[in-house]
Amino acid sequence: MHPVIRTVLQRLGLGLLTLFAVSVIIFSSLELLPGGFAEAILGQGATPETVAAFNKSLGLDRPPVTRYVEWLGGAVQGDFGKSFAGAGGWREENVRFVSDIIGPRFYNTFFLAALTALIAVPIAIALGLFAALYRNGWFDRIINSVTLTTIASPEFFVAYVLVLIAVGNKNGFAAVLPDGWGPMVKPFVSWIPDLPPLATVSKGTPFWEHVWKAILPAITLTLVIVAHMMRMTRASIISLLANPYIEMAKLKGLSPRQVIVRHALPNAWAPIATVIAFNLAYLVVGVVVVEVVFTYPGIGQLMVDSVGSRDMPVAQACALIFAATYILLNLVADIIAIVTNPRLLHPK
């Protein structure tokens, strides 16, 4: 068997084993949460007999191992069970399947991640190339300072700043800032368009309206991830510029831009693609805080709401989808690094 195929199969097997271990942790962790759905619905005055009957109607009286095996078997087939949420949700006529609840939310999260990737990836690669081309110059120093600042700033802080600017542009900064601060801040942000501070979308929202309402969450995520990708692109290009073939290209009279674009960049794609895959995984998994801040109806906000209401089937499904997405994109990053490794592509 070819070394590349063997290594890829090993990574796939390790990914499945990791996902199985994560599913056990997810199920066990949510089972160990204090309280329960019965207590949350029936209230603290419910008798033990009422709680026991309620749990029996939901199937929560069975052993955890049995419920885990059934849950995992259904999850493999795309069936995450029935939701507990809603008054009377345990009755047959009011049953809502978890997959029906998660489907629209997962589309919204994927939409936001794709929109962010379309903005962030080209910007990050371009900034990384220019920073490597003009390294140690004023452009490189400014970009490094800005990216270090964005890396050090939590996404919820960036999100609230953007919401403050959007609300200030729409309703006036005097309504959101202390006295005297509005006239000082307005000249610096007056050029920013009137963006919606809340990303409330629904299933019937038109495509371009969806894009417009999701632009602030996308900008927030872009500011967070573009720094990592830009710095990795810059570091990968600079590390290759000391190689002999780069020196030969310079001796041939090629300009610095031609040397980087024609010779350094093609050989730097492996680490760049790896860091892009890692950041795309973050886009899907790390949107929880951003979705909550902007009230964006994605899978992250759904998981927060389901944990608060003790709707365990929905919370378990959301956590498993997050874990599967992160593991899958990490596998993609590993496979890209393996396939672009000349020592595996051309074994002796």
Residues 20 and 144 in one domain: no
Is residue 323 included in any domain, yes or no?
no
pLDDT category, 87, cuts 50, 70, 90?
A: very low
Is residue 289 included in any domain, yes or no?
yes
Is residue 28 included in any domain, yes or no?
yes
Residues 116 and 93 in one domain: no
CA 306 – CA 304 distance, rounded (Å): 6
Is residue 335 included in any domain, yes or no?
no
pLDDT tens-digit series, residues 236-286: 777 777 778 777 877 888 777 777 777 777 777 777 777 777 777 777 777
Is residue 314 included in any domain, yes or no?
no
CATH code of the domain in which 248 resides = 1.10.3720.10
Q: Please state at what angle helix 98-133 crosses helix 138-152, rounded to 10 degrees.
A: 150
- DSSP secondary structure string, 61-116? TS-HHHHHHHHHHHHHTT---B---STTTTSGGG--BHHHHHHHHHHHHHHHHHHH
> Domain containing 145: what range?
105-308
Residues 154 and 68 in one domain: no
Is residue 109 included in any domain, yes or no?
yes
Residues 115 and 247 in one domain: yes
Q: Any idea how long the chain is?
A: 348
pTM: 0.77
Q: How many domains are contained in the chain?
A: 2
Question: Within 10 A of 229 (CB to CB), how many other CB atoms are there?
Answer: 23
Residues 134 and 156 in one domain: yes
With a CB cutoff of 8 Å and minimum separation 6, the contacts of 20 are none
pLDDT tens-digit series, residues 149-199: 877 777 778 888 777 777 666 655 545 555 555 555 556 556 566 777 777
Strand, coil or helix: what is 39? helix
pLDDT tens-digit series, residues 18-43: 888 988 888 887 777 666 666 666 66
